[in-house]
Structure 1
């Protein structure tokens, strides 16, 4: 079914009794002292064929886990009636809750309702409320056996769950359907998220929360395995210990999770494991650095510290605050390509915006000028940042001057561009915090908050606040250009115990004058020479 149909079907319909709803949601009883479980069934040939990527199981698992419901199995099946019926029947008998996603709509392959009816040996019947809703949307002359009313036919014992908009008090336009302990969602991810919020509170009524602690370590799993084995032998009956490697994280290598139903037991176990691990391997990692950006940045800026790094940071914040006084937020665009300097710039600007506009939840604008051979790692990092910082990106692959011309066309409201330029960059020594482009260029105010930052300041800012940055910098790259003109910095090279050539991370470079060691191209110099006035 299309998103429009789900979004626009409306009508004043009565609510079902909550007690009836809850009884159906909990048909499978939970044994005393045991935790509710869930099974997720993703339905759709398009998933199995690789035409569509499944994100629903990730969302549902995360949400259920946060409610204290343990997902024990996820199944992906095609649009085949007997398969759907068999899977629903089996899951319904095994798990407290069953969640399906997909196969709800007006076409021939939308057969989830029919599969659920077959699973429970029930009739598929037109529900009068759904008939009314469908006819309001598709027209009153729609026949009961037409595709337009296919979604009105549901298993006989089904329940309809409508939500209430907390701001407007209006009822949701289309219900989520459940039959016994099976809740059926459409396959469109936005509708799954919207629908889950409708049934979330009903699920919460019957679940106890997990208590969770996390420990982050610099070590690999093999090195700490004996400690984990010793800990698990003692606590395996009360604590669920998880170990999850992450070789793409900038700050840790393994995340350990401890889960328990009893907070007091968990606190004791957590402290014991911390004491068992070598202190130098434990990372006091901040996983919510973006969420806490404003709080953390201003705690430094407003502190009593007088060192140069903090003074540079204060100067940068003042420049950004001045920019927000001179320009509206939609008149400012940040130049961002995933490099270390513009990553620091983006995080800092995000913090300043949050301080000035606490309730702002719209997009920040970013100009991404792609080079001719972008590193895949840089591209992945850029995409991650668009989600992390809620960016609206203007992506242009061309020279700087042409890119600015295209930006004028695509976003004529933009008047100023924030840039991560430092005075140590080529042809940038004479820039000011606010510098207009030359008369023969597209007219933008270039705002340069990081002019006085040093190489070490950039890395102190990023790593002190646990800000994610492109993984290439952990592989010896100290300045990032194109794939065909950038290599790891030779000054960071070393030979490991196995005779393999490796590189230390960029933040360990001591001589900042060698920052561009490994950049043998001239693209960045040409760009700086073109756009800066001291050419």
Structure 2
């Protein structure tokens, strides 16, 4: 079942913004977070600390968009009137929430709030929900963000205005927004031509291709190209049609092939995964510097994390002129695998020009055989993330434990989140195992792995189906389908 892409509006509240005394950064931060969740931000607006203005804006936006986020006006002072305005928007009374009363008492260290202005922070619209942020999202300076919950009233999400608190709060509350990740597909084209010379081609393409958006941006002082095109569509087929039309219509000599790593980082530029992808490429470079005369292998089992790792490493090798170099991948088949995993593995061997090393062993003897059969291997790239079992204490470069065959383990994706892995996979058009489109979010073997219950839904005919893995909202539920009896 196709998921309709949700929309959002962001309302920045405060006279200080409109007077130019304070620069708004919250709307930009929220737009980035929502974009990477697949939510289309349609409007950003700023209003004064006037109840009537806020109500007018919220009534208009809440009726038009899936989500409305507000920033500011939730403190204890006279001009903090956001809760009052939200209540008036939906014709609701303000009520004291006991949870919030206790939080305010604890936060400000007061027992009697009857004459304390802080009580205002516990008086919220009647039809409200409270959502608590992930504590790991907050810094010491932004402890407010995980002490006070986000207040949601229907489709309006009320957030603080202080940027540190706003960012930590929203960062830790992404699970509140149903993800539409994977609902948009994007590619870049780089041209030697000025944008005015290709405008007619872009207009003709848009007339011929539905559900396609083309952005055209001049690039100054770049010796390689003068114009950058972003081509975005609601399906891979629609994107490919638009790209085919553009590349067949534009002069062939005007299209520039850019460095593979640079192109990948450009695609990820507006996402958190941009910095982490950049760091991963730096890890690859450091690995080659540490082991200049050795062979580097990749541990690969067909899972999403090692698939992304393999793709990024392949881009790195391309950027270094080593695209034809066969990469050794270690596949330890210690239990009966999924048939789909085996099929995907063979396809990956062809796609990435791999030297596949397979052992039907447990992991420890499998590593021992690798080092005996391939003595030049001194480092193994691995796709572990810190949230994986037994991975919380790993570091980027770490030798195998005492009692194991000694080899350097390298973990370029250690600090990536579940959502960031899928952001990169989808945006970089990485081919992945088909099980991830069948509701599996973490792969073990057929006996201990089933589709993730968090992705389960019933279609319009009452038939149970599963959304794809990238639609999982809460990354903490990634392994919810593991270690349960799978249905034959």
TM-score, scaled relative to structure 2: 0.51
Distance 2:239 2:288 in 1: 33
The offset of 1:259, in angstroms, is: 1.6
> 2:227 maps to what in 1?
254
Distance 1:77 1:151 in 2: 20
Distance 1:167 1:63 in 2: 13
The offset of 1:167, in angstroms, is: 10
User: Which structure has the bigger radius of gyration?
Assistant: 1
2:161 corresponds to which of 187, 211, 216:
187
Cα-to-partner distance string for 1:341-370 (whole Å, 9 max, x where unaligned): xxxxxxxxxxxx9889978999xxxxxxxx
Distance 2:240 2:286 in 1: 31
SS in 1 for 2:22: coil
Distance 1:277 1:295 in 2: 38
Distance 1:161 1:250 in 2: 50
> 1:294 maps to what in 2?
282
Pick closer, same or farther for the CA change 1:246–1:127 going to 2, 3 Å: farther
Pick closer, same or farther for the CA change 1:160–1:108 going to 2, 3 Å: same
Gaps of 5+ in 1: 1-31, 305-312, 314-352, 363-535
The offset of 1:222, in angstroms, is: 0.2
> 1:479 maps to what in 2?
none
- After TM superposition, the structure 1 stretch with the greater mean CA deviation from structure 2, 151-160 or 269-278, is 269-278
Cα-to-partner distance string for 1:58-81 (whole Å, 9 max, x where unaligned): 111122122222111111111111
Mapping of 1:258-277 within 5 angstroms?
A: 258-277=231-250
Mapping of 1:389-428 within 5 angstroms?
A: none
1:98 corresponds to which of 62, 68, 79:
68
> 1:336 maps to what in 2?
none
The offset of 1:209, in angstroms, is: 2.7
The offset of 1:251, in angstroms, is: 5.1
Pick closer, same or farther for the CA change 1:65–1:218 going to 2, 3 Å: same
SS in 2 for 1:150: helix
SS in 1 for 2:211: coil
2:216 corresponds to which of 227, 232, 243:
243
How many residue pairs get aligned? The number is: 282
Mapping of 1:157-168 within 5 angstroms?
A: 157-165=127-135
> 1:200 maps to what in 2?
174
RMSD over aligned CA atoms reads 3.6
Cα-to-partner distance string for 1:429-462 (whole Å, 9 max, x where unaligned): xxxxxxxxxxxxxxxxxxxxxxxxxxxxxxxxxx
Distance 2:107 2:287 in 1: 53
Pick closer, same or farther for the CA change 1:204–1:303 going to 2, 3 Å: farther
Distance 1:360 1:209 in 2: 24
> 1:65 maps to what in 2?
35
Distance 2:137 2:43 in 1: 36
The offset of 1:206, in angstroms, is: 6.1
Distance 2:51 2:76 in 1: 15
Runs (4+) of structure 1 moved beyond 6 Å? 299-304, 353-362
Gaps of 5+ in 2: 267-277, 294-319, 321-394, 399-409, 416-488
2:93 corresponds to which of 120, 123, 146:
123
Distance 2:241 2:24 in 1: 39
Counterpart contact for 2:38–2:182, Cα < 8 Å: yes
Mapping of 1:48-59 within 5 angstroms?
A: 48-59=18-29
> 1:28 maps to what in 2?
none
Mapping of 1:221-370 within 5 angstroms?
A: 221-235=195-209, 237-247=210-220, 252-283=225-256, 284=258, 286-287=262-263, 288=265, 290-291=278-279, 293-294=281-282, 297=285
SS in 2 for 1:204: coil
Distance 1:154 1:104 in 2: 10
Counterpart contact for 2:76–2:118, Cα < 8 Å: yes
Counterpart contact for 1:67–1:209, Cα < 8 Å: no
TM-score, scaled relative to structure 1: 0.47
The offset of 1:299, in angstroms, is: 8.9
Cα-to-partner distance string for 1:210-255 (whole Å, 9 max, x where unaligned): 11112222322101112212222211x2312222234366754332
The offset of 1:135, in angstroms, is: 0.4
Is 1:149 aligned with 2:119?
Answer: yes
> 1:22 maps to what in 2?
none
Counterpart contact for 1:104–1:112, Cα < 8 Å: yes
The offset of 1:187, in angstroms, is: 1.2
Pick closer, same or farther for the CA change 1:136–1:165 going to 2, 3 Å: closer
